[in-house]
Amino acid sequence: MTVTTCRRLPYPVHVGHGLLASLPSLVPELGRAHRIAVVTDDTVGPLYADRIAASLGEDRCILISIPPGEAQKSRATWAQITDALLDAQFGRDSLLIALGGGVIGDLTGFVAATYLRGIPFLQVPTTLLAMIDASIGGKTGVDTAHGKNLVGAFHAPAAVVADLDVVTTLPVLERVNGLAEALKHGVICDAAYFATVARTEITQADWHAIVTGSVDIKTRIVAEDEREHGLRKVLNFGHTIGHAVEQLMAFTVPHGACVAYGMLVEARIAIALGICDPSLAGTILRALSHVGLPADMPAVLTADVIVSATSGDKKSRGGVVEYALPARLGAMAGADLGYGIPVPRDIVIHALQQA
């Protein structure tokens, strides 16, 4: 077992092969926990939950499984999981394991943040997207009818354990979906990493290099600005438009595809404002095309509808939506504004009509 461990944050991020069977040796907190709940979904659970429970001691583990999908990232499911822990008499010496993708990670983290005013949890991401982005940084939360992630808390995990053996079993579409966040990391922070991801052949990818590259970028940013007062806002690139499309499409379009489209639109916004290298939109478009990510607005949506949907974004200030916008490949604009740039509605509509 070869493990790459990033210790830039107060908790370690472990990346390697064969890690699911080695959780007790990687995460000391597991040995100290009196009770452990593995929270997963009905797709991932049958694949990995029994293996994890066996390595931890089945007598102190319970399994909480929910249906898969973004619709489960709700206050109702939060209550369901919380009630299950209360029914099982979990105390403050307990620990939760988030075994799944971003939905499971965000939801389990929010339960951990609020149960008995806070208990530890472990992120064990099983999608590429969750490994390189959602599991790192301590953001937890649920969606509401008004938008994504509007109810939540910052609650850092005890550790993140990303087993690359899981990536090789994912469907191609799931791997492609994760590359959207990897490309985003390159745009905002590292042109060389962007070039590496943009050249990726999905069936022959070096997943260790891709995952550790994104982990390095995200942990550097989070270490400097954990609570998103400034620099961490750059991670929102592509997400203002992306989240609006995702919600309007009732989460039938994958998150990565929505972020891909959002990056292209938001690059065009930056170009229209005169703050970005005019070639960047084309660079992003070529990368998306090569790795198999879409760059078109869903046919059932209009620019006006998307702009209206952004009004509920949590990054709004004084009723004005702020965007994280690039200056060039590998660097973001707006440092003097805390990386949140207000954009007139007509500029956004024009960019949407181009994309």
pLDDT digits (tens, 9 = 90+) for 16-55: 999 998 899 999 999 899 999 999 999 999 999 998 998 8
Q: What is the pLDDT of residue 254?
A: 95
- Phi and psi, residue 268, nearest 5°: -70, -30
Instruction: Take residue 59 and report the two structure tokens written for it.
Output: 């007598």
Average the pLDDT over 98-107 and give the result. Answer: 98
At residue 147 the predicted structure's pLDDT band, cuts being 50, 70 and 90, is confident
Average the pLDDT over 195-215 and give the result. Answer: 96
Whether 355 has a pLDDT exceeding 80, the answer reads no
Dump strand ranges (E) for the chain: 3-6, 13-16, 35-41, 61-66, 94-100, 121-125, 139-144, 147-154, 159-163, 316-317, 320-323, 326-328, 331-332, 341-342
Q: What is the mean pLDDT of the chain?
A: 95
Residues of the chain above pLDDT 90, percent:
89
Average the pLDDT over 144-160 and give the result. Answer: 95
Average the pLDDT over 302-328 and give the result. Answer: 87
Average the pLDDT over 145-174 and give the result. Answer: 95
* Element at 210 (helix H, strand E): helix 207-224
Q: What is the pLDDT of residue 255?
A: 96
**CA dist., res. 211 & res. 130, Å (int):** 10
Q: What is the pTM of this model?
A: 0.94
Whether 1 has a pLDDT exceeding 70, the answer reads no
Q: So which residues are the catalytic ones? A: 117, 139, 181, 218, 228, 232, 236, 239, 243, 255
